Structure 1
């Protein structure tokens, strides 16, 4: 992308307060082109601070800030800065409360802000980029990120927004360039976390861990420390080290007790270590603190693996209801919804959702979801091609390899199936309370 020069000195000397708000809000609210919650089945998006973490303990400064900005906007309805900042805060509030009804509110005030100033208003442009990313409209998010950067090419956070959109759109080289630009402009927790994620996608776990530990070292608040601990724990779990995952999660919980994301990843580690009662307790607490679809689905699958089918069905019903709520508020359903339907619901709907997901978000996990949806619908040759695309970067993902192994088995390619299922269990023998045992059982039949 060719960036145009700032035409006025005023663009460079925009209020420091606006720049600070943008950096904070886009980092916390997800200037990241991902899901509005951490993905349940795979490494679906770059790390984002406070996404899925729940409200901060004690007074809620974000709610206070929203009230203050609402009053300011009422007193001066032609203040683009107040409106743009309010829109950013609405996106953030949607993220940390899992309440998608904030997205239409955010869109309304951001559009009002842009109507008042569509030239220099990089904060509202960045807010629109964050909003579209949160709603899984990544092409639109990319466009807004590019427009914001054209106004202010010196804001590191905007390059994070750009990187996230490029990643979700499958433009991995461009995403890497944007991450590097972000690190060059402002090395710190947000940029290092994205660098870690980019390395993880390439299967470079050594670099990924190093960068995330640097993100932890540069964390300037307990929330940022908890964020880094969460992703260190998740990285350990995803690569088969449940003990380290438990250690990292508990370290994070000592910093921020009752953090929903840390409770969730601790539960996954506990289940892997056979501590099922503790895992159910922690997942229940996480869901009570923040009813994210991810937590609901994980609890349902844990219940199902324990033979507690009635409780599992209750969680699956809640998951479906939450998906409808997100869709009603402009969020495009994608790989999580497709995988849920493939595993627990309507296989035809799973395939329809997966095909739409690949169109709007041709990221790795969308390709994997399409592969699995094709498989459960008996279209294994097409499924294998989609699985090839899911693994094109060399990502170490047990679920991807499990899906590929079952596809190969259906095609009669026994040796390839054995290799893939063995790889899945080598990467993480506890990647799913339902599918990991199925992988082991399939290997025994070979």
Structure 2
């Protein structure tokens, strides 16, 4: 279940990083190497001017640039620089409009540019475009390859570092992402660099620092589209802190600047739902999906409908999610994360485990994949195998109410009452309304766990075994008894399942899924390793010391 904002990496995610700030439009120093004239004043010139600074152009300006380069290239097909411009503009259009077919056009244009001027002969712009394309599709290893190739050849080319930040973040290499961010800020000032730095600080758990940088980015943004994107990011940070009213104060001006700005509409929908204004929230989700039909937005809208008892409307949104993810997959987009989150709570968690194990094997080891894999394992009844992934997700730095709740429920299933109580309470402190379905479940779970025993828990950090060192009071289960169960899980076990094993749209996985792995399922993946790139999570004490910067 995923309603809490991601990164946009989108959101997604995978795409999450690209959506958090749409892929920069990397335009060569002089547009059109084959004698192309400078653009006349107007939409094309404004798009080029924005691109040179790393700012966002408006979608109409971007469309004008694409049309201009398409016309030029029909008469000058051997202009490698214009092919690079066109390909990267297609990537930008795909990211910001949800038109994933643009990625196919982008790949053809960028390969055409590299065919005319190979990477080894200095075609940096096409390589950067290929890196942006790979990030947009969720192929972070390929994006890292392209970005590092440019960095190694021209280390002062600042446009390489946003590509690398997104790629390293998608792979879970947050140390390298931080280094790339520092290099970007050394080479480039202004809103684009500050926006990237805000996301890196957010991933480190430095929420106040991230917000300060996001405020500065808003002040320095040079175009309406860029300012709207910076305001949306500022609103997302406020939402993640559990401050929906403050989030609205950022989304509303963003939408005045760019009516129909999808990230702001979706963000405002989350905030409105948290404030109990569900009719307005559903309206905004509909508008966001009209402007940018991301599977992530459909999942969020479906879960809001489901929380209101509108199962038919929820089913419609879930079907849209699957259709959009399937279509995007035909265009090379990796939608495994959002599909797995949907399947874990609304379909087959066994299928989600298979998807996420494949992602882990590819090296996609971000905190988002770790959290999703841990939760999917828990939903298949493998809580013990799930816990190392949940620890990895919560101890890397990012302060996520969703991740804390997932970890707490896994610990609760294992009878680790003290750690479970601590993490579920942490989720509600971070964001009391992080999900319309899971936030109420978190409050019920915390009530079921009861108060800690007199004298305090014996196992504060969850390192021990057995029951976790304390026994729930106030009517909760005693030591040695089965862990407290969620009432909704018992109710879900009584709901029918559709033919083929898929759950009815309003139901979470069946009781069989909750008890344990289905027969014939593959063995579980090994816990996260402690190698340099896949370092095991820091200890709780180290995490606590890092909290001084939060």
TM category, shorter? 0.7 to 0.9
TM superposition shift of 1:225: 1.0
Contact 2:21 2:195 (8 Å CA) reproduced: no
Compare 219-228 and 252-261 and name the one that shifted more: 252-261
> Normalized per residue, which structure has more helix?
1
Contact 2:254 2:264 (8 Å CA) reproduced: yes
1:344 maps to 346
Match of 1:284 among 274, 283, 286: 286
TM value normalised by structure 1: 0.88
Match of 2:17 among 11, 35, 45: 45
Does residue 249 (structure 1) correspond to residue 251 (structure 2)? The answer is yes
Aligned pairs for 1:66-215 within 5 A: 66-118=66-118, 119-215=121-217
TM superposition shift of 1:358: 2.1
Counterpart of 2:395 in 1: which secondary structure?
coil
1:393 maps to 396
Distance 1:304 1:322, change over 3 A: same
Partner Cα separation in structure 1 for residue 20 and residue 132 of structure 2 = 12
Compare 224-233 and 60-69 and name the one that shifted more: 60-69
Partner Cα separation in structure 2 for residue 278 and residue 407 of structure 1 = 34
Partner Cα separation in structure 2 for residue 440 and residue 36 of structure 1 = 28
Compare 124-133 and 110-119 and name the one that shifted more: 110-119
Contact 1:110 1:127 (8 Å CA) reproduced: yes
Compare 224-233 and 164-173 and name the one that shifted more: 164-173
TM superposition shift of 1:47: 6.1
Structure 2: 5+ residue stretches without partners: 1-6, 24-55, 450-550
Does residue 305 (structure 1) correspond to residue 277 (structure 2)? The answer is no
Contact 1:222 1:256 (8 Å CA) reproduced: yes
1:405 maps to 408
Cα root mean square deviation, aligned? 2.0
TM superposition shift of 1:45: 2.8
Counterpart of 2:443 in 1: which secondary structure?
helix
Greater length-normalized contact order (CA 8 Å, ≥ 6 residues apart)? 1
- The superposition leaves residues 105-151 of structure 1 with CA deviations (integer Å, 9 ceiling, x where unpaired) of 11111111111111210000000001111111111111111112233
Partner Cα separation in structure 1 for residue 59 and residue 443 of structure 2 = 48
TM superposition shift of 1:194: 1.3
Partner Cα separation in structure 1 for residue 132 and residue 12 of structure 2 = 17
Counterpart of 1:220 in 2: which secondary structure?
coil
TM superposition shift of 1:37: 4.6
Aligned pairs for 1:353-368 within 5 A: 353-360=355-362, 361-368=364-371
Partner Cα separation in structure 2 for residue 213 and residue 239 of structure 1 = 15
1:20 maps to none
Contact 1:406 1:417 (8 Å CA) reproduced: yes
Compare 429-438 and 57-66 and name the one that shifted more: 57-66
Partner Cα separation in structure 2 for residue 83 and residue 50 of structure 1 = 20
- The superposition leaves residues 38-80 of structure 1 with CA deviations (integer Å, 9 ceiling, x where unpaired) of 348x9943664357xxxx9998122222122122222222211
Aligned pairs for 1:262-341 within 5 A: 262-341=264-343
Contact 2:127 2:147 (8 Å CA) reproduced: yes
Contact 1:405 1:419 (8 Å CA) reproduced: yes
Partner Cα separation in structure 2 for residue 169 and residue 59 of structure 1 = 30
- The superposition leaves residues 393-444 of structure 1 with CA deviations (integer Å, 9 ceiling, x where unpaired) of 2221000011101101111112211111100010001100011111111112
Contact 2:10 2:18 (8 Å CA) reproduced: no
Partner Cα separation in structure 2 for residue 63 and residue 88 of structure 1 = 12
Partner Cα separation in structure 2 for residue 150 and residue 116 of structure 1 = 22
1:419 maps to 422
Partner Cα separation in structure 2 for residue 160 and residue 167 of structure 1 = 11
Partner Cα separation in structure 1 for residue 9 and residue 87 of structure 2 = 16
Partner Cα separation in structure 1 for residue 435 and residue 9 of structure 2 = 22
TM superposition shift of 1:357: 2.0
1:431 maps to 434
Partner Cα separation in structure 2 for residue 444 and residue 120 of structure 1 = 63
Partner Cα separation in structure 2 for residue 146 and residue 289 of structure 1 = 34
TM value normalised by structure 2: 0.71
Contact 1:44 1:364 (8 Å CA) reproduced: no
Does residue 219 (structure 1) correspond to residue 221 (structure 2)? The answer is yes
Does residue 441 (structure 1) correspond to residue 447 (structure 2)? The answer is no
2:504 maps to none
Partner Cα separation in structure 2 for residue 236 and residue 43 of structure 1 = 21
- The superposition leaves residues 232-285 of structure 1 with CA deviations (integer Å, 9 ceiling, x where unpaired) of 111111111111111111122222223221111111111101111111111111
- The superposition leaves residues 171-229 of structure 1 with CA deviations (integer Å, 9 ceiling, x where unpaired) of 21211111111111111111111111111111111111111111111100111111111
Distance 1:366 1:37, change over 3 A: closer
Counterpart of 1:396 in 2: which secondary structure?
coil
Structure 1: 5+ residue stretches without partners: 1-33
